[in-house]
Amino acid sequence: MFWFLLCAIVGSTIAFVYLAWRKWIAPWRQIEQLVQQIAAGDRPRTFLVDGAAQPRRVGLALENIFGRQQHLDRQISEATSGTQTVLSAMQDGLLVVDSSRRVTLVNETFRQLFAPHEISPGAPLLDTVRNSQLEKLIVATLGAGEQKQIELGLLDPQNHRERWMQVSAVPMKDDVGGMTGAVVLFHDITELKRTDQMRSDFVANVSHELRTPLSILRGYIETLIDDPKSSSAERRRILEVMERHSKRLGLLVDDLLMLAQLESADSNLQLSDVDLLKLFGDVAHDWKKKFAEKGLAVVVDLAPDLPMIRADEARLQEVLYNLLDNAVKYSRENGEVRLRAEQGRGEIALSVSDDGVGIDKNDLPRIFERFYRADKARSPEGIRGTGLGLAIVKHIAQLHGGRVEAESELGKGTTIRVILPINKL
């Protein structure tokens, strides 16, 4: 009887312990595993917990917490992705520093400007960007608590060319007005600087080109006024000089107007199908007298199977006139001028060649610039051209979707080539 009672007590105890373990201990171990999985970022297979009501409620609460955490993670990921997309799309460089001038954020444009390597957040600014002007700008912005702006010259690390940046630094403040850092934007103004320089050079060149003939005209007018009784031969000589320089002024004004029209936004081409054989023949006939004055032989070299091209015939005629003007001017007496057209892959090259004085190889890359002259003393007539003819040729070629090329050798002549697409306009 004793043993039976002992066994019953032991069995009851074991059963009670087992039930207590199933209801109170095992569920909390399951809860512990769920917490560990959530902390590791893993999704538990199930949030259902066996046992008492309290562990089950904790399991359901953990499921709600895990769902909210995933939702927040998605929101953070989307916000981060959107921010990175915006920063990557910015054409301006962006730098954000804290109040201790440590880098907190940069975009890809900034990296390309200053440091192609990876930039560590929290790094001191001077360790990242070794530029004292930028450092002074940020110090002044943080010290004054107001926006500051400078122009900064930089050397492009990729092509080692100078670039100009307009740098704006804006302070960041907290709710109580304390300085927390600065946002710095880098706007590339290199093209604006170059355009401004070109504009200044253009005005200076135009002023110089106008001043010379005007000074000569004014001088001779004053001579006629001061000496009205000069001989008829002297007056005739003076009037001939004045006529030459007035023509030069007229040519300069005409070329300036032509160039301004070609560079304007509303410059339109009057397109038509152009027969190059007829065009070259007409131009050669128009220039027959000028060729004869210098004893120049003219060779028109066109392939018989050249196709028609879609172009502005009047503009192409202007191109050939300008090229022939240079060819005649710089050819020697009894030399040769060659007009040629040849077809390539999807394009046609129109060229004018002479066997004249030629152009130095150092000057050749710049001959299509406005007012640039390779040798200001080359013209045997003593009156130079306007210096705009080849610039006009280049602009007309570009309007047609084409390009220009030049070949020359001192003492052996020059070839200027205008390459146009076939029926692409």
For the stretch 76-86, pLDDT in tens is 555 555 555 55
The answer on 283 and 364 residing in a single domain is yes
The domain total for the chain is 4
The answer on 350 and 284 residing in a single domain is yes
pLDDT at position 8 over 50: yes
Upper half-sphere CA count for residue 253 (Cβ side, 13 Å)? 9
The answer on 356 and 243 residing in a single domain is no
Only one residue has tokens 């001779």, namely 220
Question: Domain boundary residue among 207, 238, 267?
Answer: 267
**Cα separation, 123 vs 383, whole angstroms:** 65
Q: What is the mean pLDDT of residues 121-142?
A: 82
Question: Domain boundary residue among 36, 67, 85?
Answer: 85
Domain of 184, in residue numbers: 90-188
The answer on 160 and 52 residing in a single domain is no
Structure confidence by residue, pLDDT tens digits, 255-299 = 777 777 776 656 677 888 888 888 888 888 888 888 888 888 888
Provide the pLDDT for residue 52. Answer: 61
Question: 307: part of which helix (H) or strand (E)?
Answer: none
The answer on 298 and 392 residing in a single domain is yes
Report the DSSP beta bridge partners of residue 414: 354, 408
The answer on 144 and 198 residing in a single domain is no
**Cα separation, 319 vs 279, whole angstroms:** 12
The answer on 197 and 94 residing in a single domain is no
Which pTM does this prediction carry?
A: 0.54
Higher pLDDT, 81 or 102: 102
pLDDT at position 224 over 60: yes
Provide the pLDDT for residue 417. Answer: 92
Task: Tell me the percentage of the chain whose pLDDT exceeds 90.
Answer: 3
**Cα separation, 75 vs 172, whole angstroms:** 25
Upper half-sphere CA count for residue 127 (Cβ side, 13 Å)? 11
The answer on 204 and 141 residing in a single domain is no
pLDDT at position 59 over 80: no
Higher pLDDT, 237 or 90: 237
The answer on 377 and 306 residing in a single domain is yes
Upper half-sphere CA count for residue 26 (Cβ side, 13 Å)? 12
**Cα separation, 349 vs 355, whole angstroms:** 19
What CATH number did the domain enclosing 210 receive? 1.10.287.130
Provide the pLDDT for residue 117. Answer: 61
Provide the pLDDT for residue 73. Answer: 64
Dig out the tokens for 305 from the structure.
Answer: 């199977």
**Cα separation, 238 vs 234, whole angstroms:** 6
pLDDT at position 41 over 80: no
Mean pLDDT (the chain, rounded): 77
Question: Domain boundary residue among 223, 240, 267?
Answer: 267
